[in-house]
Structure 1
Amino acid sequence: MENSALDRAHAHALTWLASLDERRVPPTATVAEVAASLGTDLPDGPTDPAEVIDHLAAACELGLTATPSGRFFGFVIGGTHPAALAADWLVSAWDQNSGLRTLTPAHSAVEEIAEAWLLDLLGLPEESAVGFVTGGTMANFTCLAAGRDEMLRRAGWDVKVEGLVGSPGLRVLVGAERHDTVDLALRYLGLGAPEVVAADDQGRLIPDALREALERGDDRPVMVVLQAGNVHSGAFDPFTEAIELARAYGAWVHVDGAFGLFAAAAPAHRHLMAGAEAADSWSTDAHKTLNVPYDCGIAIVRDRAALRASMGMHGDYLIHDAAGEPFDKVPEISRRGRAFTVWAVLRSLGRDGVADLVERFCSHAQAFATGIDAIEGAEVLNDVVFTQVCASFGSDDATRAVVQGMLTDGTAWTTGSRWHDRAVLRVSVSNWSTSEADVTRTLTALRVVAAGLGR
């Protein structure tokens, strides 16, 4: 195979990575400008692959956001750990379709080891099944699909055969501040809008409100969705009490832990996940706290049979293994070898390294909270218990001006949002490469931008 294109891609990748420490975090080119640089007409003839890579890199350079930078604090995106990045290059080169155990024994072996390591690190039942999906949304979808089908099966209805029309239906109870992807997954599953349970001032579901909602129930089976890590406050639902209540009504309990599930891997923050191991399913997004490349969500279901019953398929043309197939745990048949990158970062960090990774995120978040509180007119609005910080700079207009000012400055990316009917600047710490110097640089820029408001 001609390797010149790979050589050029390698060179461009190293140049990009070397630029992250000093480059602006926001992009400097618009979509239209990048499209113009790329050229919108499809050529009639072929182009040398190496030339294509050079052209792609040059045209996209100014339109890239430095999301792998240690100064990107938006959207809980995370970075890419070096071991995971290198493994991901191998994933593309090896080009394994990881759906069948017999077809790709290398990935199946890695997936089984990564599965056991994850369950151990997260303190979850060792009998659970782990599926590697595209992201947090599909992880929620996969877990809730297993719950939907199992709860209806217990009610005497086979979704696989009869579909949803005419079924007893389900009640799905969620906290008022659950992530929107929970609602999206429920919509995909044909379950409609959930019933909302009140949350406290940090976004934690209130157990008494859950009890009242359960008591108002009818004969339909129930699912309860809890949250590990509120996207604004970082708060965790009271798992022990909420799950005990749900169990009294025979409910399936799912924990959406897109970034917070890994609190269980860090001794100093493990208490936040206390009781969550008693749930039926859990979801997380490995590109967030674990820092593997896109796309890699993780769906975990205690009852392997329930997950396989919901996700599995059988075709005569497939080579079936008596041990079961990887695609029996996920919505996809064809998929890239996502477990390779998860295994690589876990093997590289080890148990202590994962704990240290999470603790550093939390330490940086505390430093941000302290630094923001010291800025005149600024106020941290949440109890900083994990990796999220939400701040106001006075009026909504002033806060929005700071958010825009930070993007214009370019030192770091901090996201604007709205929480408790107030405009906020949100800092999400989730990148392995974020250093104390990155935090200091970002706070310095934030002080300058806030001072520029002229208050």
Structure 2
Amino acid sequence: MNISETQALLRQAVEYGCEYLGSLDERPVFPDAVALAALEGFDEPLPGQPTPPGDVLRELQRLGSSATTANAGGRYFGFVNGGALPAALAGRVLADCWDQNAALQQMSPVAAKLEAVCERWLVDLLRLPEQSAVGLVSGTSVASLCGLLAGRNTLLTRAGWNVKQEGLFGAPALRVVMGSSAHATIRKALAILGIGAAQIELVPVDAQGRMNAKALPPLDERSLLVVQAGNVNSGAFDPFIPLCQAARRVGAWVHVDGAFGLWARACEATQALTDGVDLADSWSVDAHKTLNSPYDCGLIICRDRRALAAALQANDAYLHFGEGRDGMLYTPDMSRRARSIEVWAALKSLGRAGVAALVAQLCGRARQFADELGAQGFRILNDVVFNQTLVACAAPALTQRTLDYVQKSGECWCSGTMWRGEPAIRVSVCSWKTSGGDVRRSVAAFVAARERAESLNT
């Protein structure tokens, strides 16, 4: 293809994308059976000969568009999935045309510069220690892996063990202390790091999933303490001040799983939820959740820049580190896309006041859900302190059937969970697009789904 043909193809892709965004209010939030069945059209042998790019794009649009979840709209409330701010989405499109590899400054000066700027802005916005390093990764799962890796290696180094030289076999034993409601990705990260269930001590939590600081076992200099900024179900925040202070007194490492909740720190109305979180050593947070940067983008933030770089650095004769920022020092990846472009666009477009307003908006919509569903006789199972609302009907079976009908309605989509021994509907408000009207429309879908579920018993 020549450049004019490539430009025409890209214009067509943008046109399809704009049509898609314009249809979000009308299209089903989750694909219907017809759209899902049409995906079988992709099941074919690998073509033996090239296919014209225009035909490839048209087939992708024809079969794929209707089989997407309307995550970019205002009524998708599943799995704490964020939307994509207009400036960030546009930045992503431009970044994809630039196709930068953000490993080294030599590979992409603009990506390196924007990473440095975003690092400074994020540390300031989240009011974390000024010297902290920030790495841009795929999501909080990887960010937590990085933070725990830096913590593990630091504690072993202090114990006189060089893990890079000696490995883990024969290393001094470490212990991990975390709440019983810690996210599954923390356990996954620990397993990858060679820390098994036998080395994990679980601390009891209260009715909202917050760690009970009074039940914290004695920590020592070989302890990794994991705390939460935003319980994945209730949205509750651990009591950071007593937990972090207990860790700091003995030299333990504290990692904060703040996937969506750490952004509470950027809003005056919610920042008290995070009091004391700055006393930790590392933090994981998603840009693609509360900040509404496009997928995928997570952030690992570490108080000790050298500890993070030492844990993740790769060296070889052909790698030449510059005087500027070399992003691969702060992530497990070498080759990676330039996520800093869309993060910069999101932060630049919102500014400090805009981020605060976005956080407040998400929390306000979650409270609106609680108020309006409660007024319709649904039970609200959690204290709605952030963007999570847990909902149940009068009986567990009715809750499950109602969720099934909500998911099939096409009006909105929520995920289910188990909360304190009973099934619940988990409403996660995480998109800048969600309006008060979207909430009202979704509440109506809940009411209709419950009525349909109740009719099965008559």
TM-score normalized by the length of structure 2: 0.96
Mapping 1:13-412, distance limit 5 Å: 13-29=17-33, 33-193=37-197, 194-210=200-216, 213-214=217-218, 221-323=222-324, 325-376=326-377, 378-412=378-412
Structure 2 residues without counterparts, runs of 5 or longer: none
Cα distance in 2 between the residues matched to 1:143 and 1:439: 36
More deviation, 23-32/293-302: 23-32
More deviation, 444-453/220-229: 444-453
More deviation, 378-387/40-49: 40-49
Deviations 1:100-123 (A, max 9, x none): 012211111111111111111101
Cα distance in 1 between the residues matched to 2:321 and 2:342: 25
Cα distance in 2 between the residues matched to 1:241 and 1:20: 45
Cα distance in 2 between the residues matched to 1:34 and 1:242: 52
Cα distance in 2 between the residues matched to 1:214 and 1:16: 55
- Secondary structure of the 1:268 match is coil
Deviations 1:319-357 (A, max 9, x none): 221445210100000000001110000000111000000
2:103, 2:335 within 8 Å by CA — same for their partners in 1? yes
Cα distance in 2 between the residues matched to 1:31 and 1:320: 49
- Secondary structure of the 1:416 match is strand
Cα distance in 2 between the residues matched to 1:412 and 1:32: 17
The amino acid of 2:285's aligned partner reads T
Cα distance in 2 between the residues matched to 1:87 and 1:74: 25
Deviations 1:334-391 (A, max 9, x none): 0000011100000001110000000000000110001111123x21010011000001
Cα distance in 2 between the residues matched to 1:109 and 1:441: 43
Cα distance in 1 between the residues matched to 2:39 and 2:406: 26
1:186, 1:192 within 8 Å by CA — same for their partners in 2? yes
1:76, 1:430 within 8 Å by CA — same for their partners in 2? yes
Structure 1 residues without counterparts, runs of 5 or longer: none
- Over 3 Å counting, the alpha-carbon distance change for 1:113 and 1:264 in structure 2 is same
2:417, 2:425 within 8 Å by CA — same for their partners in 1? yes
- Secondary structure of the 2:260 match is coil
More deviation, 115-124/38-47: 38-47
1:29, 1:62 within 8 Å by CA — same for their partners in 2? no
- Over 3 Å counting, the alpha-carbon distance change for 1:409 and 1:16 in structure 2 is same
Deviations 1:78-99 (A, max 9, x none): 1111111111111211111101
- Over 3 Å counting, the alpha-carbon distance change for 1:30 and 1:176 in structure 2 is farther
More deviation, 321-330/121-130: 321-330
- Over 3 Å counting, the alpha-carbon distance change for 1:149 and 1:243 in structure 2 is same
The amino acid of 1:252's aligned partner reads W
- Secondary structure of the 2:300 match is strand
Deviations 1:42-72 (A, max 9, x none): 2111111111001111011231111111000
2:116, 2:325 within 8 Å by CA — same for their partners in 1? no
The amino acid of 2:111's aligned partner reads H
Quick check: 1:441 aligned with 2:445?
A: no
Cα distance in 2 between the residues matched to 1:313 and 1:226: 29
TM-score normalized by the length of structure 1: 0.96
More deviation, 50-59/5-14: 5-14
Please state how far the C-alpha of 1:170 moved relative to its aligned partner: 1.0
- Secondary structure of the 1:185 match is helix
Cα distance in 2 between the residues matched to 1:141 and 1:11: 39
1:411, 1:441 within 8 Å by CA — same for their partners in 2? yes
Cα distance in 1 between the residues matched to 2:325 and 2:317: 15
More deviation, 196-205/54-63: 54-63
2:28, 2:411 within 8 Å by CA — same for their partners in 1? yes
- Secondary structure of the 2:177 match is strand
Match of 1:6 in 2: 10
Cα distance in 1 between the residues matched to 2:190 and 2:381: 30
Cα distance in 2 between the residues matched to 1:446 and 1:36: 31
Q: CA RMSD in A?
A: 1.4
1:8, 1:54 within 8 Å by CA — same for their partners in 2? no
Aligned residues between the structures = 449
Cα distance in 2 between the residues matched to 1:112 and 1:55: 40
Please state how far the C-alpha of 1:253 moved relative to its aligned partner: 0.4
1:98, 1:104 within 8 Å by CA — same for their partners in 2? yes
- Secondary structure of the 1:248 match is helix
1:6, 1:50 within 8 Å by CA — same for their partners in 2? no
In the TM superposition, structure 1's runs of 4+ consecutive aligned residues that sit over 3 Å from their partners are: 29-32
Cα distance in 2 between the residues matched to 1:203 and 1:39: 44
Cα distance in 2 between the residues matched to 1:35 and 1:20: 20
Cα distance in 2 between the residues matched to 1:31 and 1:238: 46
Deviations 1:146-189 (A, max 9, x none): 11101100000111111111100210111111111111111111
Percentage identity across aligned positions? Answer: 44
2:132, 2:302 within 8 Å by CA — same for their partners in 1? yes
Please state how far the C-alpha of 1:407 moved relative to its aligned partner: 1.1
The amino acid of 1:435's aligned partner reads S
2:112, 2:324 within 8 Å by CA — same for their partners in 1? no
1:292, 1:345 within 8 Å by CA — same for their partners in 2? yes
